[in-house]
Structure 1
């Protein structure tokens, strides 16, 4: 109990400043023109929307078509694919695609493929006319849920719970040939999700989305037969609920986004050995790697940073995107990130958690600083007349030991505060100090973090009744 009959109360408010224009394309920033973009050259810029509500009931996958300057987004519940330009303007909604799930773009960008589990079919869609040009039946009850393109073959993950497997469609024959059961028996509890290496389309990686742990396998598919090169049942100790996977530009590594562990794992493609991590935050659910090697690591967060950005070759985030604003707390959807070809614009698909919330496309350009949470706790009396304070500084991005916290005290009846010696946080972001106040009445102690290149400033205060 406090000595001297004093009453101590805490009034703490984190005064984290809002990140500036995280999702707004600056109307005076020059960006190179791209296909589908009316801007003719550098220096001529058309203002772009901050975010666009899409005509979708649900979200399944996102594909960026750099050749035509388009985005393709699947809507499983609506049985459709929504097509937009890079500004988010809706160009068309392609219907008649039951359960449209994962998408795959042909190497020449002429055709988009979508798995249709609701029709036991893979559909081919023209990326210019948006017409369905072909449908390939995969077999009754197969329910294909993912598809990738390797040469003149399509590879797809299919199967009910307890009977997942991998199949292929050979497009080189006059009548496309379907071949099922290309994976080792009992490898997959449900239909695996497939990912193809842009650097080496003969390499396909499969991962289990449902259940934990998450098995991962690497296949060489050059010959038309899926030859397993590497398999790991539980990478990272306990990898669960795989949501997304991306290759490094050279194809040597893969980056996982799974519900656990609480970072984005990096594995070697050749043997699935550990190759590092991107330390984002809890519940990773999306990842996108730009042609330059820049990494966007997304998480399922309703109260913190949503996307952590990493420059090529680095594993320390240089900035974040935060979608929450006021009472709005949009969530990044699984697999909801994609880079524009010039690697300066990132597309993100979000949705709030309430029933019937719209699916929203965001065009992101300039990552901001992470919010910081400074807390100055209720003090206690140590030796007679001495108050002992403790506090902490937390953020989604690491706080460097030695970061300075300014301390002030406003004495009872005073209108201006008195500066006290500053303190520094330790390796955990904690700090402490003591003070010997005088007088009677209400004293207010304030701790202030001024912010830095990675973090927004924040303030916390505590009131102490003296006397």
Structure 2
């Protein structure tokens, strides 16, 4: 009698029997009501995280242990660290000011008023000046604070009128602090502008409206260490764009996944590219000088999966790990810090589909191995069969996947009762293992 398949659903159905390994870095809950920005202080081994909801900056060590909570910072938004790591600046839209904070005492040393109704939301350091993005909807602009004068002076209106729909987010080149790039996080599509700020005036060097044809909801931007390129994370396109700083021409891409939300670049050029993903990988890793991911991190999978927050990535100074700020999707969920040890391995998913018989007593199987990080054709899948009444499975000839991850095999089961077939991927240097089983009625 030909065997019949029972209780064997494909992986895409709710009843599938799938064993999938995922990388879930340990999470440390942070005392944050809200989140805006992360700054890594390599000199003191600290992380600074801004909390607009509580008007605070939380200070932790590299393991996420809370060292201090600096309060009384209305709307605490974007942060900037001086090159010597002595002072942290925080944009305070709720106080129309920028605060200077000691990185050792964690005390506010100075507040610089930026003008009534300015609401500065981002700040960068360039020599003896601070530059900040400010303004409400329909009135975005750029201001500066000259710290070299006896009494610091504020100058507003550096940007052309009607260029910025909302307060632009500013980013300074690590190779040349006279180069500042501005992007817009509210409204889409977004303009990207390069400014020369050496003389105390923001002189526009390059301007590009709507890179890629539709750059939607800019979430993050990072310079390469040499300052020659910038990498964008935006809701669309579905990859991390690379633009040349000099003229904002296209300079390639990091092929991550839909809904890029964060990007961080290490001092050696390694890139961590994060996306807003419920069911796939969350962070893609790229070695210096390469555009092919060598590993990914997946926090969890499912509707309640922790999501990487916009601008939620930062590198340790020795490039040995990445810090990720995450939050589950439900209201009131805690905000957590995850420390990712690079390079990380990609989760894999192996499916063994319902078999059919191709001749008297002969079963034909097919399956598929998938991962956010592509697998090479020829990757080996081990096959085994547990015969009815047997205590130990019998190893069958291994098979390999094709370029689409598909594999097939046939077998002639023996005995009577339920036989269990198992396909196993052992993992490799870049992928975690996974497996899948299905049961058939024999006899």
- TM over 0.5: same fold? yes
Following TM superposition, by how much is the alpha carbon of 1:8 offset from its aligned partner in structure 2, in angstroms? 4.1
Is residue 13 of structure 1 aligned with residue 11 of structure 2?
A: no
Q: Which has the higher strand share?
A: 2
Is residue 210 of structure 1 aligned with residue 186 of structure 2?
A: yes
- Which residue pairs with 2:308 in the alignment? 332
Secondary structure at the counterpart of residue 59 of structure 1: coil
Following TM superposition, by how much is the alpha carbon of 1:384 offset from its aligned partner in structure 2, in angstroms? 6.2
Confirm or deny: 8 A CA contact 1:8 1:379 kept in the other structure.
no
- Which residue pairs with 2:244 in the alignment? 268
Pair 435,248 (structure 1): closer, same or farther in 2 beyond 3 Å: same
Confirm or deny: 8 A CA contact 2:263 2:272 kept in the other structure.
yes
- Which residue pairs with 2:233 in the alignment? 257
- Which residue pairs with 1:32 in the alignment? none
Confirm or deny: 8 A CA contact 2:278 2:303 kept in the other structure.
no
What does 1:287-366 align with in structure 2 at a 5 Å threshold? 287-324=263-300, 329-366=305-342
Confirm or deny: 8 A CA contact 1:103 1:113 kept in the other structure.
yes
Secondary structure at the counterpart of residue 148 of structure 1: strand
Q: For residues 69 and 409 of structure 1, what CA distance do their matches in structure 2 show?
A: 53
Pair 407,116 (structure 1): closer, same or farther in 2 beyond 3 Å: same
Following TM superposition, by how much is the alpha carbon of 1:437 offset from its aligned partner in structure 2, in angstroms? 4.9
Confirm or deny: 8 A CA contact 1:439 1:466 kept in the other structure.
yes
- Which residue pairs with 1:30 in the alignment? none
- Which residue pairs with 1:70 in the alignment? 46
Confirm or deny: 8 A CA contact 1:286 1:337 kept in the other structure.
yes
Confirm or deny: 8 A CA contact 2:3 2:440 kept in the other structure.
no
Following TM superposition, by how much is the alpha carbon of 1:230 offset from its aligned partner in structure 2, in angstroms? 1.7
Question: Residue by residue, what CA displacement relative to the aligned partner does 1:115-169 show, whole Å, maximum 9, x if unpaired?
Answer: 1111221122222222222222222222111111111221111222222222222
Number of equivalenced pairs: 437
Secondary structure at the counterpart of residue 35 of structure 2: coil
Pair 7,73 (structure 1): closer, same or farther in 2 beyond 3 Å: closer
For normalisation by structure 1, the TM-score amounts to: 0.85
Alignment gaps of 5+ in structure 2: 10-15
Confirm or deny: 8 A CA contact 2:190 2:215 kept in the other structure.
yes
Q: For residues 414 and 86 of structure 1, what CA distance do their matches in structure 2 show?
A: 51
- Which residue pairs with 1:136 in the alignment? 112
Q: For residues 7 and 403 of structure 1, what CA distance do their matches in structure 2 show?
A: 27
Report the more deviating stretch, 370-379 or 254-263: 254-263
User: RMSD between aligned alpha carbons?
Assistant: 2.7
Following TM superposition, by how much is the alpha carbon of 1:411 offset from its aligned partner in structure 2, in angstroms? 4.3
What does 1:346-425 align with in structure 2 at a 5 Å threshold? 346-382=322-358, 386-425=362-401
Secondary structure at the counterpart of residue 94 of structure 2: helix
Secondary structure at the counterpart of residue 211 of structure 2: coil
Question: Residue by residue, what CA displacement relative to the aligned partner does 1:4-30 show, whole Å, maximum 9, x if unpaired?
Answer: 7945431532223354xx74xxxxxxx
Q: For residues 108 and 432 of structure 2, what CA distance do their matches in structure 1 show?
A: 49
What does 1:105-184 align with in structure 2 at a 5 Å threshold? 105-184=81-160
Confirm or deny: 8 A CA contact 1:54 1:358 kept in the other structure.
yes
- Which residue pairs with 2:12 in the alignment? none
Secondary structure at the counterpart of residue 342 of structure 1: coil
Is residue 227 of structure 1 aligned with residue 203 of structure 2?
A: yes
Q: For residues 416 and 107 of structure 1, what CA distance do their matches in structure 2 show?
A: 63
Q: For residues 213 and 363 of structure 2, what CA distance do their matches in structure 1 show?
A: 45
Pair 386,89 (structure 1): closer, same or farther in 2 beyond 3 Å: closer
Confirm or deny: 8 A CA contact 2:304 2:329 kept in the other structure.
no
Is residue 192 of structure 1 aligned with residue 191 of structure 2?
A: no
Following TM superposition, by how much is the alpha carbon of 1:453 offset from its aligned partner in structure 2, in angstroms? 0.9
Is residue 246 of structure 1 aligned with residue 222 of structure 2?
A: yes
Confirm or deny: 8 A CA contact 1:8 1:463 kept in the other structure.
yes
Q: For residues 328 and 143 of structure 1, what CA distance do their matches in structure 2 show?
A: 34
Is residue 456 of structure 1 aligned with residue 396 of structure 2?
A: no
Following TM superposition, by how much is the alpha carbon of 1:213 offset from its aligned partner in structure 2, in angstroms? 2.5
Q: For residues 295 and 235 of structure 1, what CA distance do their matches in structure 2 show?
A: 20
- Which residue pairs with 1:93 in the alignment? 69
Secondary structure at the counterpart of residue 109 of structure 1: coil
Confirm or deny: 8 A CA contact 2:38 2:313 kept in the other structure.
yes
For normalisation by structure 2, the TM-score amounts to: 0.89
- Which residue pairs with 1:428 in the alignment? 404
Pair 251,442 (structure 1): closer, same or farther in 2 beyond 3 Å: same
Confirm or deny: 8 A CA contact 1:214 1:241 kept in the other structure.
yes
Secondary structure at the counterpart of residue 20 of structure 2: coil
Q: For residues 139 and 206 of structure 2, what CA distance do their matches in structure 1 show?
A: 21
